[in-house]
Amino acid sequence: MAAIASISLWRPRDGKLPDFMARVATAKKIHERIGGKVRVWQSTFGGQPMSVGYVIESESWEAFGQFGAKLEQDSEWQQFWADALQNVTADLLQNSVVTETPL
């Protein structure tokens, strides 16, 4: 079965990179606690330089759906997101879901 990944591309606001990365570390702990495999990438040059890619991998569509259901009900995530919306440290550039293509 092909892997599924949710990819969010963020641009930290001026002077907010340390704050944003601290939030990323917290989000990663929450997501991994409920079963996501998280990877964080920072662009050094190219189309969106200095942006941060936050990737949550799931092993299948079923696992992706289960992760989403858990996330929706998770009180720690709800509190995290409410705080992030009140204290913005980055702007979302792009959000997508991709699937691994077996060759």
Asked if residue 102 lies in contact with residue 48, where contact means CB atoms within 8 angstroms, the answer is: no
Provide the pLDDT confidence category of residue 1 given band limits of 50, 70 and 90.
low
pLDDT, position 102: 80
Range of the domain at 29: 4-97
pTM equals 0.91
pLDDT digits over 34-53, tens only?
999 999 999 888 878 889 99
Q: What is the mean pLDDT of the chain?
A: 94
User: In sequence order, what are the residues at sequence separation of 6 or more whose Cβ sits closer than 8 angstroms to the Cβ of residue 13?
Assistant: 20, 88, 89, 90, 91
Write down the number of H helices and E strands in the chain.
3, 4
102 lies in some domain = no
Domain count, the chain: 1
CA dihedral 67, 69, 72, 77 (to 10 degrees): -30
Given a cut of 90, whether residue 21 has pLDDT beyond it is yes
Give the domain CATH number at 73: 3.30.70.100
Angle at alpha carbon of residue 43, lines to 45 and 3, rounded to 5°? 130
